[in-house]
Each structure stands twice: as C-alpha cells, then as structure tokens.
Chain A
Amino acid sequence: MAVTATKPRGAGPRKPGAARLAFALLGALVLLAAALLASVRYGSLPTSFGAVFDVLRGQGDPYITTVVESRYPRTVLGVLAGASLAVAGCLMQGVTRNPLAEPGMLGITAGASASIVVATAYLGMSGQMATLLWALPGALLAGLVVYAVGTRGGGSGMVRLVLTGAVLSAVLSAFIQAVTLSKPAVFDSYRYWVVGSLGGRGFDVFWTVLPLAGAGLVAALLLGRALNTVALGDDSATALGAKPARIKAAGLLAATVLGAAATAAVGPIAFVGLAVPHVVRVLVGVDFRLQLLFCALFGPSLLLFADVVGRLVLRPQELMVGVVTAFVGAPALLIAVRRMKGNA
C-alpha cells in the first residue's frame, strides 16, 4: 500500500503514486493477456502452446484450428461479461455506499430468471438465443422497477433502493420456485442456466449483448469524475455545482444495463461484481476513474481464469464457470479484506 498522508474524510480521493499506478496497469494488462491466452489454449482436448500459435498464425492443423476457433466465442464473451459485471459492481458499491452491493442486488438476476422461467414454462421457449432474448428485457425491467420504486420521492434513499431490490428478488424467487417445482422440465433447463456458464455460446450471443454492454461501459468510464464529486457527500457535491441525484441515477442505470447484459449472456455470476471492486480499491485507491478502469481489466481476467479452471478440473467434462468463480476469486478478496483493515 502506498503510504499517503491521512486526509480528513471527504477531502478527496487518495492518490497512489504514478509509478505504482503504472506498475499496477502493466500487471493488469499482463494478467489479462495471460487469461486470454489460457482461454484459447485450454479445453477438453489438450492443445499445446505451439499448436495454438500455429493456429493464430493461420498455419494450424485443420482440426486443431476448428477446436481453437471454437474457444473464441467464450473468450470474448468472458471479457465482455467480466468487465460488465465488475464495473457494474463498482458503480453500485460506489453509489449505494454498500460494500455488499453487486448487480444482483437491483433485482436483475431475479428478473432475468423469472422471465426465462415464464417463457420456458408457458411459451415453450428453448435454445440459447431465445433464452438470451428473454433474459434481457426481464433483467432490465426488474432493474428499472427497483430503481423507480426505490428512489420515488427523491432524496438519496439508498436504503430504500436496496430494500426494494431485496423485496422484488424475494417475490420473484418465490414465484420461480413455485413454477419450477410444478414443472420439472422447466426446473431442469432453468437449473442449468442459473449456475452461469461461458461454454456452448456462439458469437451471436456476443454480438447481441455487445451494444448494450459497450454503451454501459463507456457511460461508466465517463461517469468517473462525477462519481468522485458525489463521493464527497451530497452537500459538498451540490456546493461544487454537481447534481448528486442525477449522477447517482446515471450510475445505477449504467450498472443495470451492464448487469442485465452480462446476466442475460452468461447467467448470473455473482462473485465477480462483488469481489473485483474491493480488490481494485485496495490496489488503486478510491478514485472512481481508476477503479472503473481497473475493474474493466480485472473482471475479465477473473472470469476467464475461472472458466479455464472449470475446463480443466473434470476434463474432459466441464465445471460451469459460475461454480468456479467464487473458488478462484475468494483468495484475492480475502487478501483485499485483510489489507483494508490496515487501511481504513
């Protein structure tokens, strides 16, 4: 940890040294590059680095080329979903000032799940793209309902927002349980989706969620400076000419869009949105511009490494990434938590 002079609370974000920052950025990029490489190298068929490089240079054995190419969609999807989830978590933890905030808290997961369950049970929905196209509006709608109800009457009622999210999630979960218990076939397919997986998805899934996730990521990165101002406290921010309520709303909207896009594409993977922002904060401090940038770099690394582990532990079978993420990410979060104690 950089030793910085302790400033009074609200006096602005602490700044780690420039050298340290450059080092962290380099580390994050190297980690991401390693994650990308691992994701195209490892699968149920063992392939060597040499063979993968041959494929990347366009000189691979035709079958190995097909195998390596089949790993591309899940890799780009891992990057997009990992960045979206981590950035969404960072936005939510910042806006709600709740260290446990993650995208699922806004009712996004429950909304997507309920939509899928209804479509499967009553409309005979099946297939990857159909699932995505049903999950997306469900997630967005739930997020917007939570936001509308939770912030009604203005003010900075973040407690109400969190409670509304919890209530909606509880109601939808009960509904999902009722439907899936009465229709075992629905339970089977829902149970599969709800774990969260990068596998078996094609580029079409990626392209479908890219506009939404891309817009959310750009919006989030642009919000960094404004969120720094809001972090000073509503009164100070207002005194500086900012509009805290509007900035918070924009942050939550971006988080909802990001969470919905990622959840619809790969299923609910809670741990990335929760853990990555904490790790990043320990590393780069509280400046939101840095936090959001590093979340967008570390999120994909965590998700991709978890996915690679999932492909290897039961080879040739696969463990879904939703199961693995917590195992892979927990040590990093624990280290971050220990550091926090000394820092806070």
Chain B
Amino acid sequence: MLSLRALRRPAAVAAAASLTLLLSACGATDADETTGPAQETAAFPVTITSSLGDAVITEEPKKIVTLGQGSTETAIALGTVPVGIEEYKWGSDDSGYLPWVHEAVKAKGAELPKQFTGGEELDIEAILELDPDVILAAWSGVTKEQFDLLSDIAPVVAYPGQAWSTPWQDQIKIVSKALGKADEGEDLIGDIKKQLADAAATRPNYAKYTFSYIYNTGPGSLGVFFPTEQRAEMVAALGLKPDPIVETFEEVEGTESASIGLENADKLKDTDVVFTFYSDAKNRKEIEAQPLYQAIPAIKNGAIVAPTEQPFVTGSSMINPLTVPWSIERFLPMIDAAIAKVK
C-alpha cells in the first residue's frame, strides 16, 4: 500500500469508492453541455457543477490557480499559464517543476507559476495571495471543507463523481469549459488521440504483444492495473493489448487496480511485456530477488519496461495535452527494447 500511495497519490486519495459507470455518465452529460453552445461569446457566464458544489464563472478568467493534476497542463495548452499550482515534488525534476510544465512555460516565455503545498495541508493563504479568478481542480483530492473555504476566494471547479477519478477526456472538457474554450478543449482531446494513434502507427508490431501493468507494495505483493487506469490506457493507446487475464481480477475499490498477491504470479504467464515502476533502487532489488517474481515469464526474459526516473514515471502515468507528447518520445525506445526480449 505504501509505495503505491507514494507513487500514485491520485488513486490513493480516491481510496473511498469510485463508481466508474456513474462517472462516465456524468462525463457524457458534461460533453453534451459543452458542445452545445458553440459560440465563444456566449461562453460566460458559465456554471460548472461538481460533486462538491457549483462554480459560477462570470467572465473569462485571467488568473488561474490549479489543484491536483492535469488542470495545469490543459490550461497551458489552452493558452493561459496559471499563476499558481499545487506542488508535486515526487514527479518534479531539478527545475523544481514537473518537467513538461517547466518546458512548456519556458517555450512560451511566460512566468513560471508559483508552487504551493497541496493535499491535506493545502496552503490556503498562498492561494489567497495569488488572488485568482478561478481555481481549477477537475482531477484532484480537494475536500468539501477545502472547497467551501476556497469558494470564498474564487469559483472552484472541482470533480464530478469521486475525488481523483475524473477520466482524462472529462478533465479537459471541464477545464476548457471553465475557461470559455470548450471547442478548443475538444480539439485537444482529438490531438491527444491522434498523437497516440500516430505513435502506434509507427510501431505496427506492438499489436502482436500483450502487456500487464503491475506494481508492488513491498516484497510478497503483486498488483495489476486495469486497462482503464490512465497509465495502462496510455500503453494500450500505443498499440499493445492488455492481457485479458486482468479482467478476471477483483478491483481494490477506487484504485482501478487489483491486488492479487505474489503467489498468483503465474496468472501473468501469457503476458509478453511487463510494465512497472519501483519506489527506489532498493525496492527494485528486493522485488526482483524474489523467486516468484522471476517466475513471471516476461520478467525472466527481461521484457520489462520499468522506468526509474520519477518525472517519467509520473508523466507516463497521466494523459493530458503536455504529458502525452513528452512521454511518447521517451516511451517508445523503452518499449522497443523490452519487446526485443520477448520470447
């Protein structure tokens, strides 16, 4: 549980229940609304309903603050660099920022957003000082209490459904609607799909291989992500086929993954390529030393994609307008190398 929590904060916070069906239903409704009023001029005032309450945005926001993940990237892609974003140290590089965010802001020649502490110890004072016009938290773990406090500062665009459970397409739709750029949001979604499809087209051989995206929470453990989880979704979008065995596993509620225990390692016997990550070098050594782990054919063959760079682990685990192009170019060589070892 612990390394999963550290590495995968979004899912961890959503440890409550996530009703995927309900979520996609909400998403669909959202999409209908956003595509409805096509005229840019009619974009404001706009009301965005979330499970925590409504956000009423009366005019185009200039100063944006984002919470959680994903909203920052979509806002930048839509042309506005936020004035403040929640800090995510684990995935940041030497710049102190998530590298794709840093690169995109630098490329625009814009000012870097101020970073503040998020999560349970959300720095409300820092947000107050930034004097935002809107607070975007479409994929976040913002609580009802925080939502109420923040709503006194600016309208807060929170998540439909459960915390940390907004599908990536819905995140983009929500953020673009809040910024009065619903149409451009649709374009972004199309772009992302196209980039992934184009990358897949350069690697037609990928379709011949099955993959499992696994994780560990220490020796003795084995978890598998469902194909709906964003990191597995990214791999599937690049052309590899999810090993169908995953559908037989039982979900750990709200994580879009199953914890099956290392003794069930042989369930993955038909997986060609394993994707995973380790919390650090020691974790990798401990895990790989286990005979049962080595009993997974893909692991034994070395057909494994296991990035150790934390920013890349983070970037390849999220689908949004900035992470996808940043991740794809790094991902493909790793996958090629792993596939070369498939037996």
A66-B291, A128-B286 in contact; A192/B2 too (CB < 8 A)? yes
Q: Which residues of B contact A44 (CB under 8 A)?
A: 260-264
* Most A C-beta atoms less than 10 A away, residue of B260, B262, B279: B262
Closest to A45 in B: B263
Closest to A198 in B: B220
The verdict on A160 contacting chain B, using a C-beta distance below 8 Å, is no
Question: Do B218 and A200 touch (CB < 8 A)?
Answer: yes
Interface residues of A in 31-89 (CB under 8 A from B): 43-45, 63, 66-67, 69-70
The verdict on A185 contacting chain B, using a C-beta distance below 8 Å, is yes
The verdict on A167 contacting chain B, using a C-beta distance below 8 Å, is no
Interface residues of B in 198-224 (CB under 8 A from A): 218-221
Q: Which residues of A contact B218 (CB under 8 A)?
A: 128, 192, 200
What's the least CB distance linking A48 to chain B, in Å? Answer: 14
Residue A63 contacts which of B6, B252, B266, B282 (CB distance < 8 angstroms)? B266
Question: Do A70 and B291 touch (CB < 8 A)?
Answer: yes
Alpha-carbon separation in the docked complex, A200 to B292 (Å) = 12
A44-B260, A192-B1, A316-B259 in contact; A70/B282 too (CB < 8 A)? no
A126-B282, A127-B282, A200-B220 in contact; A188/B5 too (CB < 8 A)? yes
Question: Do A70 and B262 touch (CB < 8 A)?
Answer: yes
- Chain A, interface size: which category? 20 to 34
Question: Do A188 and B2 touch (CB < 8 A)?
Answer: yes
A44-B261, A316-B260 in contact; A185/B6 too (CB < 8 A)? yes
Interface residues of A in 101-160 (CB under 8 A from B): 126-128, 130
Interface residues of B in 275-333 (CB under 8 A from A): 279-280, 282-283, 285-286, 289-292, 295
Closest to A46 in B: B263
Question: Do A127 and B263 touch (CB < 8 A)?
Answer: no
Question: Do B221 and A43 touch (CB < 8 A)?
Answer: no
Question: Do B219 and A45 touch (CB < 8 A)?
Answer: no
Closest to B249 in A: A316
A69-B291, A126-B280, A200-B219 in contact; A317/B264 too (CB < 8 A)? no
Closest to B263 in A: A45
Alpha-carbon separation in the docked complex, A319 to B218 (Å) = 14
What's the least CB distance linking A201 to chain B, in Å? Answer: 7
What's the least CB distance linking A127 to chain B, in Å? Answer: 4
Closest to A74 in B: B220
Question: Do B220 and A67 touch (CB < 8 A)?
Answer: no
Number of interface residues of B (CB under 8 A): 28
Alpha-carbon separation in the docked complex, A186 to B286 (Å) = 19
What's the least CB distance linking B299 to chain A, in Å? Answer: 13
Alpha-carbon separation in the docked complex, A318 to B222 (Å) = 11
What's the least CB distance linking B46 to chain A, in Å? Answer: 36
Closest to B289 in A: A202
Alpha-carbon separation in the docked complex, A127 to B292 (Å) = 19
Question: Do B295 and A128 touch (CB < 8 A)?
Answer: no
Q: Which residues of A contact B6 (CB under 8 A)?
A: 185, 188
Mask: chain B, 1-27; 1 = CB below 8 Å from A; 0 = not: 110011000000000000000000000
What's the least CB distance linking B231 to chain A, in Å? Answer: 20
Residue A202 contacts which of B219, B259, B282, B295 (CB distance < 8 angstroms)? B219
What's the least CB distance linking B237 to chain A, in Å? Answer: 29
Closest to A67 in B: B263
Alpha-carbon separation in the docked complex, A189 to B220 (Å) = 16
Mask: chain A, 285-326; 1 = CB below 8 Å from B; 0 = not: 000000000000000000000000000000111100000000
The verdict on A199 contacting chain B, using a C-beta distance below 8 Å, is yes
What's the least CB distance linking A130 to chain B, in Å? Answer: 7
Closest to B266 in A: A63
What's the least CB distance linking A254 to chain B, in Å? Answer: 31
Mask: chain A, 190-202; 1 = CB below 8 Å from B; 0 = not: 0110000001111
Mask: chain B, 238-275; 1 = CB below 8 Å from A; 0 = not: 00000000000000100000011111101000000000
What's the least CB distance linking A37 to chain B, in Å? Answer: 17
Residue B219 contacts which of A128, A130, A315 (CB distance < 8 angstroms)? A128
Residue A317 contacts which of B5, B259, B279, B291 (CB distance < 8 angstroms)? B259
* Most A C-beta atoms less than 10 A away, residue of B252, B261, B279, B295: B261
A191-B2, A192-B218 in contact; A126/B279 too (CB < 8 A)? yes
A69-B291, A70-B291 in contact; A199/B220 too (CB < 8 A)? yes
Q: Which residues of B contact A315 (CB under 8 A)?
A: 261
Q: Which residues of A contact B285 (CB under 8 A)?
A: 127
A188-B2, A192-B1 in contact; A70/B290 too (CB < 8 A)? yes
Q: Which residues of B contact A202 (CB under 8 A)?
A: 219, 289
Q: Which residues of B contact A200 (CB under 8 A)?
A: 218-221
Residue A66 contacts which of B279, B282, B292 (CB distance < 8 angstroms)? B292
Q: Could you give 26 example pairs across A and B, Cβ below 8 Å? A: A43-B263, A44-B263, A63-B295, A66-B292, A66-B295, A67-B292, A70-B220, A70-B291, A126-B280, A128-B218, A128-B219, A128-B286, A130-B282, A185-B6, A188-B2, A188-B5, A188-B6, A192-B2, A200-B220, A201-B219, A202-B289, A315-B261, A316-B259, A316-B263, A317-B259, A318-B261
Q: Taking A45-B261, A127-B286, A316-B264 as given, write out 20 further A-B residue pairs in contact, using a Cβ cutoff of 8 Å, ordered by the A residue number.
A: A43-B263, A44-B261, A45-B264, A66-B292, A126-B280, A128-B218, A128-B286, A184-B119, A185-B6, A188-B2, A189-B2, A192-B218, A200-B218, A201-B219, A316-B261, A316-B263, A317-B252, A317-B259, A317-B261, A318-B220
> Which 7 pairs of residues, A with B, have the shortest CB-CB distance?
A44-B261, A200-B219, A200-B220, A45-B263, A127-B282, A316-B261, A44-B263
By a beta-carbon cutoff of 8 Å, the part of chain A in contact with chain B is 43-45, 63, 66-67, 69-70, 126-128, 130, 184-185, 188-189, 191-192, 199-202, 315-318
